Structure 1
Amino acid sequence: MQDAPLVQPRPAISWQRMAMTAAGVAGAVVFIEGMLNRETRDQLSPAEQSLLHDTFKYTGGGLVLTALAARGMFKSGVAYRIMAANPWLVLGVSLVGGIGTMMGVFYTPPEKSIQKHLFWLGFNACQAATLSPLFFFSPAILSRAALYTVGIVGSLSYVGATARNDKYLNLGGPLLAGITVVALSSLAPMALPLGVRGLAVTEAISLYGGLALFGGFVLYDTQKILHHARLAQQGLMKRDPMNEAISLELDMINIFIRLVQILAMQNNRK
């Protein structure tokens, strides 16, 4: 008698663990606020509150559209074709499409609302195509990574919003230098013949270094939004929450991707 094939069930979502994680995130917000913001700023002005609120509305809307589109692409088989394609081709197409639509959003003035929203939808579609292969991971891993991402970004955004004016804006230069290192460490295995130890080092830099780096970008981008709100109030620039949302959305996507990879690695070790 032939043995039946063994099918490994996907791990179920533990709502108790989710609740404990949410409580831990709330505690972490209080701790981080106390550590990083010993001197807090004055209360946000109405202009700062308005731009921050509208920016997070576009960020949340973009992420919801990206998730739904990525899920649809996965179910339709687009993710399989992406995984089977040449990695350099996928990288090139995703870079051209993502950067092109992002530049379209940035350089379209707010007055041209329809054109700007079309570029914004195109940007989210490009992100969805890039993220659709993540649905090969179990729903438990994706749910935990999403919850952790919201907790990390929410806490760091709160810290950035309550910190003294421009406290974290001087992080721009070091963060740009760091993203170059992380990008090179991500591309190195595709271009260079690295040994096992070299692969482990580049993977650690890409995952954990990238996680810390994009956490820093959340602080920087939150304070940049408030700075732009003050400039717009003075008439020195146009108020544009969609442009601000693109940066935060990219921060969240990069944090989410790395958390999925880290959780998957931990799950494989069990």
Structure 2
Amino acid sequence: MHRPATNVVPAGGRKVLTVNARAPRETIQQHHHQHAQMASDAAPYTDKPAMSVADLVAYTKKELDTDAERQSKVSAEGAAGDLQSQTGATLDLSHKNINALPVEVIVLIRDKVERLALSHNPQIAVPSQIVLCDRLRYLNIRWNQLKHFPEAVLQLSSLEILDISKNRITSIPEGIKSMTSLKFLAVARNKITRLPLALGDMPSLTKLKFDENPIEFPPPDALKPATNLVNASIEAEKERDVCQQVKRFLKAASIRERMRTNSEEDLRY
């Protein structure tokens, strides 16, 4: 299949890690929080010299080969045939001054990488070819200077965690409803004024982080937890409660909007 070319990208190198392809949601989110903490503790952007596309491709190949050797060793030790032991790679390309992922890298990672970190790349633009990476379950594009929600991400139907915090995004498209596997959406510290009604129709979504946005809709009362949870040990429960509270409000608002639209159409006839 012909794949269109995309912008070349300078980048630097970092280790490729691995994560169980069928790890429980809690494990996936634990890795997410660890990476988020690492990113927040670092400087927002980097002046690190850029890599050439050829060097980036060579680096990616090397790290994926290393991961394949590790998996082969696991199979040789008796895990062959155990699907639970099969893993997908994690590729961290944060702090590399990446402008876009070249199609050569997309081709390399599309069938292997399940976790991709592209944070702290202030000039980055998410390429349309990222839709080819249909194994992605985690995507971190926080701490960049994105002004628009990357439309291509909406087609990543297997994505479970999307962290697009600390950018300059002003809105979330209603098309986010197509991300049927999404469980955790982080959009904190952007410039979002309105949450889309579509969030109310996303059964898989259980966690939503939207703090430090100038949100006008839903109103403040709808953004508070329905119950008074003050114990720090149940912070995760509080976050789930807030997510469900917001989703219920948006679901009801969506129903009212449809009823209003239908009534207006009836009056025309």
TM-score (norm 1): 0.25
TM-score (norm 2): 0.25
Q: Which has the higher strand share?
A: 2
Q: Which has the higher helix share?
A: 1
